C-alpha cells in the first residue's frame, strides 16, 4: 500500500514519536509499505510521521533500489557517535520543491533495532550519515529547516503559506 506523504504544516511532523514495542506482522507490513511509499515519492529516506504515524520508525535506501543490501530499517534509532562536518543541499519529502544547504556531521553511527527487534549498530558517511541524522530528527519532531538560518526559514515558511492559500500545498 502506498501512503501519501504528510506535508509541512501537519502537527504530526513536529511532535516526538513513540517507541515501537511490537515486532509483529503489522510492523513488517508497515515497513514494506514505507519502502514502497518512499520509492513512489522518489525519496531515499522516509520516517513514519511522514505518513501520519507517530512511531519511532524510519526506512532508508540511499542507493534508491540499486543495492538491496542498502535497504535499512531503523526501529527506535539513536545517534551514538558523530564525527566531522559536511555541508550539502538537503530536502525533505514533506517540504517538496525546497532545498537548502545544511551542515551536518560527515560520519554518523546509529544504534537501532531491525524489523525483528534485533539491535544493531551501523556507521554511515556522507549521504548515509545525513540520512541517519535527517530521519532521526524526524522521529524527534524536528525538521531539517531547524538547521538553517531563521531568516531563510521564515522566507521558506512565507512561500509555503502562499502555496497553502492557493491550495497548492
**Catalytic positions, written as ranges:** 135
Does the protein bind Zn ion through residue 131 (CB under 5 A)?
A: no
Shortest distance (Å) from residue 94 CB to Zn ion: 5
Do 128 and 110 meet the contact criterion of CB atoms below 8 Å apart?
A: no
Helix (H, G, I), strand (E, B) or coil at 140: coil
CB nearer to Zn ion: give 89 or 166: 89
Shortest distance (Å) from residue 61 CB to Zn ion: 14
Do 51 and 6 meet the contact criterion of CB atoms below 8 Å apart?
A: yes
Residues making up the chain, counted from first to last: 169
CB nearer to Zn ion: give 30 or 59: 59
Which residues sit opposite 87 in a β-bridge? 103
Residue 134: its H or E element? helix 127-139
- Burial environment of residue 49 by CB neighbours within 10 A (0 to 12, 13 to 18, 19 or more): buried
CB nearer to Zn ion: give 14 or 23: 14
Does the protein bind Zn ion through residue 72 (CB under 5 A)?
A: no
Does the protein bind Zn ion through residue 92 (CB under 5 A)?
A: yes
DSSP 10: -
CB nearer to Zn ion: give 7 or 106: 7
Shortest distance (Å) from residue 144 CB to Zn ion: 6
- How many residues form the binding site for Zn ion (CB under 5 A)? 1
Shortest distance (Å) from residue 130 CB to Zn ion: 11
Binding site for Zn ion (CB under 5 A): 92
Amino acid at each position: 500500500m502506498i501512503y501519501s506523504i504528510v506535508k509541512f504544516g501537519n502537527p504530526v511532523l513536529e511532535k516526538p514519536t513513540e517507541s515501537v514495542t511490537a515486532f509483529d506482522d503489522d510492523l513488517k507490513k508497515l515497513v514494506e509499505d514505507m519502502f514502497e511509499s518512499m520509492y513512489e515519492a522518489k525519496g531515499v529516506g522516509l520516517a513514519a510521521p511522514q505518513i501520519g504515524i507517530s512511531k519511532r520508525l524510519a526506512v532508508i535506501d540511499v542507493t534508491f533500489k540499486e543495492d538491496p543490501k542498502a535497504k535499512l530499517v531503523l526501529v527506535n534509532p539513536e545517534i551514538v557517535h558523530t564525527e566531522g562536518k559536511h555541508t550539502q543541499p538537503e530536502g525533505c519529502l514533506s517540504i517538496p520543491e525546497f532545498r537548502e544547504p545544511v551542515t551536518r556531521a560527515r560520519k554518523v553511527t546509529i544504534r537501532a533495532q531491525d524489523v525483528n527487534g534485533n539491535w544493531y549498530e551501523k556507521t554511515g558517511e556522507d549521504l548515509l550519515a545525513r540520512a541517519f541524522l535527517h530521519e532521526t530528527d524526524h522521529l524527534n519532531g524536528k525538521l531539517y529547516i531547524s538547521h538553517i538560518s531563521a531568516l531563510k526559514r521564515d522566507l521558506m515558511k512565507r512561500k509555503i503559506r502562499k502555496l497553502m492559500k492557493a491550495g497548492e500545498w
